[in-house]
Structure 1
Amino acid sequence: MSKGKEYRRPRALSPLREHLRDTFWFAPTAAMVLVFVLWVGASEADSAIVRVLQDQQEFDAVDDLIRIVNDTKPVINTVSSAMMTFIGVVFSISLVAVQMASGQFTPRVVRIFVRSRITKLTFAVFLATFTLSLLVLTSFESETDPRLVTTVPFVQSVLTLLLVALSLFLFIAYVNSTLRLMRVGHVVDRITGETLRVVDRMPRGDLGGTGLAPESGRVGYSGEAGVLRDVNIARLVRAAQRQGVVLRLIPRIGDFVVPGTPLLSVHGSDQGKAPSRGALRYTVSVGVERTFHQDLGFGLRQLSDIALRALSPAVNDPTTAVQCLDRIVQLLTALAHRPLGAVGHPDGKGEVRLVQDVPDWADLVDLGFAEIRLCAVGNPQVTRRIMAGLDDLLGLVPEPRREPLLRHRERLAQAVELTVPEAAERTFALEPDRQGIG
């Protein structure tokens, strides 16, 4: 491993946490439960205040509290009746935003809206406000004699008004956040940021050129079919260290696996044995779709999909494709000097115990440029941006990584030569320009 920045293994993905982040029911339900507990505490506080004032013969103060809460009762009535309409507005905005994002960008960006914390927080606070207003209305008494009244919902009313104010501020923040996520620039920036965090969590060293010992066995996958989303690196490293072997993960993150798929190969001396099934439990997480947690290629996949949708005849938006190419070049630049293909995860003594296959440089370049290049012919704005991006990368990458870039540059030039009949137009389409047509 390199001696630079210390490498931290990524934390294992929690299936329960991922399930809760992909659902809308948990946050509102938890908020309503919490607000019920809060109401019980506020109700006890109101009763205690009235008892203290009555014990001290402060009946005028009790009467003042009664008049104050009676003034707030119409407000709370209005809140209880209007909040559900407000919730319906928020839900409608969310559905429209998701539908537009799916149609304009790609279905894979819908996860950004589904996992949006501000959206879930807004729903949760709105439902909590509605629930609290109903509970507070049950605490109002018809008795007005300060000597006979048992409770005055003063604290409850104040809490309800505070939640109403919080709901209004959250609604403003929610609308602002939703409008930002409906703009392609913010979407591709969000995708790029999550991908760069995956890059930062990658190991910063290779296998040291030592290679692996001969394979002594394999471990098959047992579980439900799905996309391999996460590997518990720390658990696998410990299991390999206890057995004195090296494990190699056969499928890559993002691959679809079915029961019986070879999952791990075991490498080591004759004394080394494969870890038991118990030691390998909960070492991989499989789901219905890819995530950013350890998936190096998922961000490039999404950017490529957005660019392809933009270049389709139905949309015909080459500027969006150029924005995606900007970010693709940014991500490939961040990966230009990273170890790719196969990376090693060491144990505490620095000895590699887990080898993980990740996309190599050629795979990532193809993922970023191949499909866009095929659809870009006839859009000089896009071809010029591709040429500029390839030239920029050629000036940054080491010599062994130049071949895929040169290959795409040559194939783009050949496609333009075959498609564009006029020489002047061909020259224009192949002139590098970072803005496409600046």
Structure 2
Amino acid sequence: MSDRGYRRPLALSPLREHLRDTFWFAPTLGLVGVFALWWAASSLDTEIVAHLRDERAYTELGDLMSFAQDAKTIVTTISSAMMTFIGVVFSISLVAVQMASGQLTPRVVRIFVRSRISKLTLTVFLATFLFSLLVLTSYESEADPRRVTSVPLVQSMLTLAMVGLSLLLFIAYVSATLRLMQVGPVTDRITREALRVLRRMPRGPLSGEPLAPETTRVMHTGRAGVLRDVNVARLVRAARRQGIVLRLIPRIGDFVVPGTPVLAVHGGAAPPRHALAYTVSVGVERTPHQDLAFGLRQLSDIALRALSAAVNDPTTAVQCLDRVVQFLAAVVHLPLGAVHHRDGAGHVRLVQDVPEWTDLVDLAFEEIRRCSTDTPQVSRRLLAGIDDLLLLAPADRRKPLLRHRALLAQAVERSAPEAAERAFALLPDHQGIG
């Protein structure tokens, strides 16, 4: 079991990631902000009119009213056209996402949901629509500058500015959506998320510190589902107050059902139920927040779909293998097996099981290897990737790589009757067939 040095976890990290997995939070927050912006702009317009009336600058006030009436036509057009524009844009975008999920994997929809530019674009679009409606309520029918109480000058200018921002975001959003339909950007995004999980994992020197005997277990009482993540900060705090060590029994990504053990307690009594509330998050699907293997799972899914008879796109599988090798090269020297989370005093308080090196190699190569025996382009790239990892891997981590290399060679020999075909399919090539 390996140990990693303590790094204080972020208390709000799970909440922040869960909100990123929703598509309602940012637009809702934006709509609330629109009301605050409109109230501030309306108050400023009222103060401007009051100042001009105090100064008896009725000529300037009349000019402002004339400008505001001209702007009213534009604001009215914006309010009537913005909602239609939103519906058309996002209908086309959802069709594009559906095509991408059909060609690659349904899990790419999660990338769209978590996309900051998508949420920002929808937020600004809806905010512009709502703000224009609020501005229309600020126009007065009074034409006498001496009796008018407010002229929506600032509000009209803000509306025009929001329309300009919406047009710029529309260009950025279309560009981002088109990239989502391309294999390269999608696999790059998945790999960067997987590497981000790897960087967040605390690691440090090995330690032989044994755990105290197991005293009890905490059962899962929530709904059945996939273990998405755990609130490390809250669990560490609960274990420190109780003077115990908690061990997470299922891995992140495992499917848990009510009544099964989720935490093992070492060295004392279990923390009270309220101290463990909201520490384990269960959902309907895996997320990349703390799941080290989820990136490889997605890359493998895309490669398998590309190698299916219905798609028959080995080049996409080669692109996935490029990223698979990149990720394995990043973890080849890192300690794996278990993560030890410590409190501020340096005491181990939470032990979390993570995939071993062999688990990651099998996930990365097993299914793709079985489907690549009839595709020389993929078998050649797979061999080149394994050879690269053999150069990087220490001696104790070469065994699973050599096993997959040997199994691939045996499968190709069985599927290719001609010696020349076998030799060609077993020639390592970083481009598949360069």
TM-score scaled to structure 1, two decimals? Answer: 0.93
Answer whether contact 2:2 2:206 (CA < 8 A) is retained: no
Question: Which residues in structure 2 correspond to 1:249-288 (within 5 Å)?
Answer: 249-268=248-267, 272-288=268-284
Match of 1:133 in 2: 132
Match of 2:194 in 1: 195
Cα distance per residue 1:161-181 (max 9 Å; x no partner): 111111111111111111122
For residues 87 and 273 of structure 1, the distance between their equivalents in structure 2, rounded to whole angstroms, comes to 56
Other structure's SS at 1:64 match: helix
Match of 2:330 in 1: 334
For residues 142 and 269 of structure 2, the distance between their equivalents in structure 1, rounded to whole angstroms, comes to 79
Q: Describe the shift of the 1:79–1:257 C-alpha distance in structure 2 as closer, same or farther (beyond 3 A).
A: same
Question: Which residues in structure 2 correspond to 1:209-228 (within 5 Å)?
Answer: 209-228=208-227
Match of 2:290 in 1: 294
For residues 372 and 93 of structure 1, the distance between their equivalents in structure 2, rounded to whole angstroms, comes to 33
For residues 224 and 230 of structure 1, the distance between their equivalents in structure 2, rounded to whole angstroms, comes to 14
Cα distance per residue 1:309-333 (max 9 Å; x no partner): 1111111111111111011111111
Shift of 1:127: 1.4
Answer whether contact 1:228 1:290 (CA < 8 A) is retained: yes
Does residue 1:433 correspond to 2:432, yes or no?
no
Partner AA of 1:411 in structure 2? L
Other structure's SS at 2:107 match: helix
Shift of 1:8: 2.3
Other structure's SS at 2:273 match: coil
Q: Describe the shift of the 1:353–1:33 C-alpha distance in structure 2 as closer, same or farther (beyond 3 A).
A: closer
For residues 166 and 239 of structure 1, the distance between their equivalents in structure 2, rounded to whole angstroms, comes to 46
For residues 316 and 348 of structure 1, the distance between their equivalents in structure 2, rounded to whole angstroms, comes to 53
For residues 332 and 43 of structure 2, the distance between their equivalents in structure 1, rounded to whole angstroms, comes to 63
Match of 2:76 in 1: 77
For residues 132 and 220 of structure 1, the distance between their equivalents in structure 2, rounded to whole angstroms, comes to 49
Answer whether contact 1:250 1:264 (CA < 8 A) is retained: yes
Partner AA of 1:31 in structure 2? G
Answer whether contact 1:229 1:295 (CA < 8 A) is retained: yes
For residues 288 and 420 of structure 2, the distance between their equivalents in structure 1, rounded to whole angstroms, comes to 43
Other structure's SS at 1:338 match: coil
Q: Describe the shift of the 1:364–1:129 C-alpha distance in structure 2 as closer, same or farther (beyond 3 A).
A: same
Q: Describe the shift of the 1:54–1:212 C-alpha distance in structure 2 as closer, same or farther (beyond 3 A).
A: closer
* Larger deviation, residues 139-148 vs 410-419: 139-148
If asked which structure has higher relative contact order (CA below 8 Å, sep 6+), I would say 2
Match of 1:112 in 2: 111
Match of 1:164 in 2: 163
- Give 1:312's match in structure 2, choosing from 308, 311, 314: 308
CA RMSD of aligned residues (A): 2.2
Cα distance per residue 1:210-246 (max 9 Å; x no partner): 4434333222222111111112223333333344433
Match of 2:366 in 1: 370
Q: How many residues align?
A: 434
Other structure's SS at 2:139 match: coil
* Larger deviation, residues 207-216 vs 218-227: 207-216
For residues 69 and 213 of structure 1, the distance between their equivalents in structure 2, rounded to whole angstroms, comes to 75
Cα distance per residue 1:274-318 (max 9 Å; x no partner): 333333232221111111111100000000001111111111111
Identity of aligned residues (%): 72
Cα distance per residue 1:92-125 (max 9 Å; x no partner): 1321122012101111121110121211111111
TM-score scaled to structure 2, two decimals? Answer: 0.94
